[in-house]
Structure 1
Amino acid sequence: MSIRDWPADDRPREKLLEHGAQALTDAELLAIFLRIGVAGKSAVELARELLQRFGSVAGVVAAPRDEFCSLHGMGEAKFVQLQATVEIARRALASEMAERPLLNSPDIVKDYLRLSLGHERVEVFVALWLDAQHRLIEMQTLFRGTLAQTSVYPREVVRAALAKNAAAVILAHNHPSGSTQPSQADRSLTRVLKDALALIDVAVLDHCIVGATEAATQGAMPVRSMAMMGEL
């Protein structure tokens, strides 16, 4: 049975229009993106296969180009559309972050970091440079490492802060393993960077750890959906 033959309330597009995007399952959202299925499979069934293959929506987004394009019903056009959709969402969040104090918008910060770092297959260390009103100036990738670690040099972080004329910063890095638990090395690095940046009057507001599906904080932001990982 094709999606056209389903009851109207069960069709992803009609369901979205009636109840909003948040009411759809991951498979239904992907089905709307896919638009059509393949012979013998509806778009929803194809979406479910994608989720099973890559584990989650985040896994689908992070799927290597060659692997994604090799699947029946996919291809470079779908891959490009998916990456463009994710980038549109990331830029929309960045625009919001540039217009409002980030301490009042922890969920936006979390979503932005997940979109920016959740797909990375190696550790990446970034800084969200903020102005005196704690609005985003720019997210800057400072260091890239390996699957398990990255080397961070405080001197280079200080230099970057001065170049951006930042008043504050939210630090972040990802754990490709998916865990958002901070290591002792993560905590020590946070303290070192906080002390170094304090010498040039740049406040470290937070240090977030991003997994494939979540982001956690080590700092003092008034977070709601991000787990507290200890005081800076």
Structure 2
Amino acid sequence: MNIREWPLDERPREKLLARGAQVLSDGELLAVLLGSGVAGRNVVDLARSLLKRFGGLRVFLEADRAALLREPGIGPVKYAQLQALLEIGRRYLDETIERAPALESPAAVRRYLKSMLRHERCEVFGCLFLDTRHRPVAFEILFRGTIDRASIYPREVVRRSLLHNAAALIICHNHPSGNSAPSQDDVHLTRTLKQALALIDVRVLDHVIVGDGEPLSMVEQGWIGA
């Protein structure tokens, strides 16, 4: 059935305007973004079939360009719009955390770091720089590597900490494999950075590892001292 034949309160765009985006399903949200369907399939059916094929909204949005462009209803323009949406979301979260008066909770920090790193297909290393009251100053990805390794240089972490006049920081990296358990190299790196940064009176509050599921806090797991 053509979506124009649906009752107004069942059409995704009208439902969003009347009741808010939060009431829409993943398929309905994607349908709003796609805007139109394809021959023989309305936009909601198209959106639902795409999510089923890819295994969910996150996997769909993070799929590579070639895979998406093979799908009906996804051309270069629509692909560009989806990528812009993802980047807007990341920048919104970045500005939100940097303007926060203080860190709300360790869980909030982990959610933020996950949103910044989970889309990365290769291993990356970043720092959330904090002031003397542990308010966010800046977030930066400092190093990028391969699918399972990134070379980290403590000297550069020290340099960026001085540039931001940071009093403390939270370091983070991702495991593209999905397993967030720290390796012995992760533990050794964290201790090395703590020692190097202590020389300039900058505290390392935690090392967060982002994989599938909930990010891992090395401090909470007892791998490093707080």
TM bucket by the smaller chain?
0.7 to 0.9
Match of 1:204 in 2: 204
- 3-state DSSP of counterpart to 1:98: helix
1:51 and 1:15, CA in 2 relative to 1: closer, same or farther beyond 3 A? same
TM-score by length of 1: 0.83
**2:115 aligned residue:** 115
Deviations 1:55-108 (A, max 9, x none): 332222222223222321101111111121122222222222222245215455
Amino acid at match of 1:86: L
Residue 186 of structure 1 and its aligned partner are, at CA, apart by 2.3
Q: 1:23 to 1:8 in 2, by over 3 A?
A: same
- TM-superposed deviation, 1:147: 0.9
Question: Which is further off, 126-135 or 28-37?
Answer: 126-135
Partner of 1:166: 166
Q: Counterpart of 2:2?
A: 2
Cα distance between partner residues in 1 of 2:78 and 2:173: 29
Aligned to 2:54: 54
2:99 matched residue in structure 1: 99
**In structure 2, do the counterparts of structure 1 residues 5 and 179 end up closer, same or farther at CA, with 3 Å as the change threshold?**
farther
Tell me the residue number matched to 2:142.
Answer: 142
Letter in 1 for 2:122: V
Give 5+ residue unaligned stretches, structure 2.
Answer: none
Structure 1 runs of 4+ aligned residues shifted over 6 Å read: none
Structure 1 pair 108–88 and aligned structure 2 pair: CA distance change class (3 A): farther
Report the alpha carbon displacement of residue 183 of structure 1 after superposing the two structures with TM: 2.8
Matches within 5 A, 1:35-46: 35-46=35-46
Please list the CA deviations of residues 166-223 of structure 1 after superposition, one character each: whole Å capped at 9, or x if unmatched.
111111111112232333332332222222212211111221122356533223xxxx
Aligned residue type for 2:181: Q
Amino acid in the other structure paired with 1:197: L
Contact 1:206/1:217 (<8 A) preserved: yes
Distance 1:125 1:38, change over 3 A: same
* Higher relative contact order (CA closer than 8 Å, sequence separation 6+): 1
2:90 alignment counterpart = 90
Cα distance 1:133–1:106, how it changes in 2: closer, same or farther (>3 A)?
A: same
Give how far 1:119 is off.
1.4
One-letter code aligned to 1:166? A
| Fraction of identical pairs, as percent | 53
Cα separation, 1, equivalents of 2:46 and 2:222: 42
Query: What TM-score comes out, normalization by structure 2 length?
Result: 0.85
Check conservation: 1:129, 1:139, Cα contact below 8 A.
yes
Alignment match, 2:80: 80
**Distance apart, 1:34 and its partner CA:** 0.9
Q: 1:182 to 1:3 in 2, by over 3 A?
A: farther
Q: Unpaired segments of 5 or more residues in structure 1?
A: 220-227
Could you list the per-position Cα deviations for residues 92-142 of structure 1 after superposition, in whole angstroms to 9, with x for gaps in the alignment? 222222222452154553443333221111100111112223233222222
